[in-house]
Amino acid sequence: MHSTENHNPKSKPIMVLGTSSGAGKSLTVTAICRLLKNLGEKPIPFKGQNMSNNAWVDWNGGEMAYSQALQAFACGIVPSSEMNPILLKPQGDSTCEVIHLGKSMGITTAKDYYKDWFNPGWEVIKNSINIIYKSNKNCRLIIEGAGSPVEMNLIHRDLTNLRVAKYLEANCILVTDIERGGVFAQIIGTLELMKPDERKLIKGILINRFRGDLSLFEEGKKWIENKTQIPVLGIIPWLDDKFPPEDSLDLLEKKRYFTNPEIKVGIIKLPSISNFSDFDPLENEDSILIEWVMESQNLNQFDFIILPGSKQTIKDQLFLNESGLSKDIKDYSNNNGNIFGICGGLQMLGTILEDPFCKEGSRLTSEQSIKGIGLLPLKTIFLKNKITRQINSESIWPKLTKINGFEIHNGTTELDMNSKGNLKIKHIFKDSDLGWYKENCKGGSIAGTYIHGIFENDDWRDNYINLIRKTKNLPISAKKSRSYKIKRESIINNLANEFNKHFNISLLLN
């Protein structure tokens, strides 16, 4: 299945396939993107289909996976939904929302997906590749596969691995994770299950997450090369990477980086959590320790609590009620607590959630109107269409400063006129529908915003954290924390430098 389109890019695409999910494809693509940018090339990331609730919104209001946005930053370019033309957002009960070229197309079950969406999906992937090549002369696509390319029960309907590799005649590398064990079987088994025309696209093998002395694997490397007749392009040592996890289950495995935390944050681990990259800037603060809260407990050990975004707000509100966490959060607010909600978290802090079109989980629960936690006098009604857009605004609280980020949500939120707390609530931003706050009765604050990426705004984040420090009687921090975006750049550079030391990329570029 060779490309019938007139692509003929000057620079052959590079594709990163993995022997399994979690083999390190995403980080490998990120590293290659930065290495090629440093070599003066024009790399552009691409992943035909991604399944994730960790999303980004481009400047046209199109949704895409955050991992491809991060890879675009590594290329030094603006993320765009063509880089991830199909995004599947799981919402439980074997269903997911289908997003094509940034726009929501509807809901499907896993069973119906390949019947109804395979052909339109392949068309949207080809269309996106054409759009990228038309508007970016002399670029080189750096493509990420998904899972394993040889799931034999799915291979006939796999949109995003070998089908894309053959369509673009890409130079492919096979990445495997030695930390999992069985690395020889993973490599040989994956290659053995490929057809000859697929196998010939594999130009190199990359071994990821090696612990200890690399020279100890020299015999293993020779054995792999003799057996496969494919060069091992590199053995990447174990890296203490601080990259956003692709899947919310990985949150529990994230290492905690801190020396002497002064502030402890509890983030409620909702079953349908979304956009957990919102918290990466807090992970990078030396003085802050993050813990995930999954069950009812006394929350007073935390200096502030965050309610994150949710793909199924009503379903997650019912989880909070049933688990006892709603009561814990109320008790915490009565005890001078600082609470911050983002997107679905903001909605849950309000008094009423109405879901007339069954968009936010009421389809699974038969409750189309339920009470929120009730700490902010706000009412949310979920509408048919989603709001997705980039935001440039100014904050009023905790300081007057410029803000950017993005919105992804169903529903509109307004003051609940039947609630007693109306007079005490104030706007966080000059755009009045982006966020609200009120002072807690004995100190502390309860606040919420629709803006994802709010903590990436360094000046705003510093001032919010200083509010928390004040409630703890800690000295106000006068020094500016290091810019998160600059820190993200240095993390990407460090990743690329490690790959540069251990990975022979030149074999892929010819």
Q: Which residues are catalytic?
A: 343, 452
The values of phi and psi at residue 396, to 5°, are: -100, -35
Amino acid, single-letter form, for residue 213: D
| Cβ pair 33, 67 in contact under 8 A | no
Which residue has tokens 């600082």? 338
CA distance 255 to 454: 23
8-state DSSP, 61:
S
79: left (phi over 0), alpha (psi -120 to 50) or beta: beta
The values of phi and psi at residue 409, to 5°, are: -165, 150
CA distance 320 to 271: 10
β-strands 445-449, 435-439: how paired? antiparallel
* Cis check: omega of the bond before 244, within 30 degrees of 0: no
Which residue has tokens 């169903």? 410
CA distance 66 to 50: 10
Beta bridge partners of 435: 449
